[in-house]
Amino acid sequence: MARAKKSTRSRSTRAASSRKPDAIALLKADHRQVEDWFSQFEKARDDDRKQRLATKICNALKVHTTIEEEILYPAFLEATDETDLHHEAEVEHDGARKLIAEIEASSPEDDYFDAKVTVLSEMIKHHVKEEEQPGGMFAKARSSDMDLDALGEQLASRKEQLESEADDSDDSPVPRGQRSRQQPGRMARTR
């Protein structure tokens, strides 16, 4: 697992010259985006729309959990020694990752597809609450000496890299739902 770089000391210069989201703002924006797609999925009626939304949700969650695990979580553990919070978050990611693999290997025609997406939504809702609630990881990260501006930049650039890798592997003319049935679980991390 990649380690976050040590804090830099150019925080005030950076803050003055740009208004990029810091680590917590970037991750919370990801949470809001995925919540919006889950609520659109709940209302969706046709299979194409469900498939498109499920694909967007799974891809976004894979990128989000990967950047948290590679960059934010190790920096958080190093800065705070909050082992329980850190380990529980990783275990919750692993649970989500298994369900994401099942959704990717499935399709809206399958009886259990909607149930899997609904359960994933509930798991993510719980996990996001743990991260964002008072006394949760994000609050503790804010009150630590973590350089959230520098970490925000690292998260943004790794996110961009992972998204462009996903786009590159998406060039096949075969529709995603059909392809993923043959190649279940293109996960960001080996299991």
Contact residues toward Fe ion (CB under 5 A) are 27, 68, 131
> What are the angstrom distances between the C-alpha of 29 and each of 22, 128, 179?
11, 11, 30
d(CA 38, CA 24): 21
d(CA 145, CA 26): 18
Please, which residue, 68 or 104, has the CB nearer to Fe ion? 68
Lookup: tokens for 185: 């679980």
Please, which residue, 126 or 181, has the CB nearer to Fe ion? 126
Please, which residue, 135 or 173, has the CB nearer to Fe ion? 135
Give residue 67's Cα distance to chain centre.
7
Please, which residue, 10 or 157, has the CB nearer to Fe ion? 157
State in angstroms the smallest separation of the CB of 87 from Fe ion. 12
State in angstroms the smallest separation of the CB of 1 from Fe ion. 14
d(CA 138, CA 128): 10
Give residue 85's Cα distance to chain centre.
17
Please, which residue, 53 or 72, has the CB nearer to Fe ion? 72
Q: Is 41 helix (H, G, I), strand (E, B) or coil?
A: helix
